[in-house]
Amino acid sequence: MAEENEKEIKSDGAKVGGGAKSSPLVVLLIVLNCATLGFVGFQQYQFMKKSSEEPNIRDVVSQMMDERGSEDSQSELIKEKKEEGSLLPLENFTVNLAQGTGPRRYLRMKTVLQFNKDAKDEEFQARKPQIRDAIISILNSKKPEDLLQREGKLFLKEEIKNAVNSFLINGAVVDIYYVSFQIN
């Protein structure tokens, strides 16, 4: 009977004492988990710090508008306006915009491209699929927040103008006009 009491005491003691002791493997896993969480948190902090230092679209557009306001660029703009050429409309664009903070949205847009006098209609017609593809790619990369502001629409015009001019050999796009512009 004394032996049974000792076994009960040992088993009771083991239950009480066993919970207080922990395996070195569990301690190692807890320390490793805390270190990993700390590392991930630090990396997230560094990423957010880096992304906040990058200029946003408003800064870039305002800088471009300031540069465009100089006298030299205004005289170039006047020369370009004097050399205006033909107007060529594009078919409607209906594209999905990049996912912003809200629900999925799309853009319906109709534009007219204004070419300089050196542009040939045949070249435009031959490059039309490439031009449409470039415009669709640009529009797909835009978020609704970027296009709702006036500066965003002006910046979009510049992007489209540069993309279209990269395809043309004779002539160039002087200006782009929005005939319709609707974000849903």
Look at residue 91 and tell me whether its pLDDT is greater than 70.
yes
- pLDDT for 61-73, tens place per residue? 777 777 766 545 5
Rounded CA-CA distance 160/57 in Å is: 16
- pLDDT for 118-172, tens place per residue? 778 888 888 889 999 999 999 999 888 888 888 989 999 999 999 998 888 888 8
Rounded CA-CA distance 118/85 in Å is: 8
Q: Which residue has the higher pLDDT, 2 or 159?
A: 159
Look at residue 108 and tell me whether its pLDDT is greater than 70.
yes
Domains of the chain by range and CATH? Answer: 85-183 (3.30.479.30)
- pLDDT for 19-30, tens place per residue? 557 799 999 999
Rounded CA-CA distance 72/67 in Å is: 10
| pLDDT band for position 48 (cuts 50, 70, 90) | confident
Is the separation of the CB atoms in 105 and 61 below 8 Å? Answer: no
pTM value surpassing 0.85? no
CA angle, 47 then 48 then 50, to 5°: 65
Burial class of 7 by CB neighbour count within 10 A (0 to 12, 13 to 18, 19+) = exposed
| pLDDT band for position 16 (cuts 50, 70, 90) | very low
Q: Percent of the chain at pLDDT above 70?
A: 78
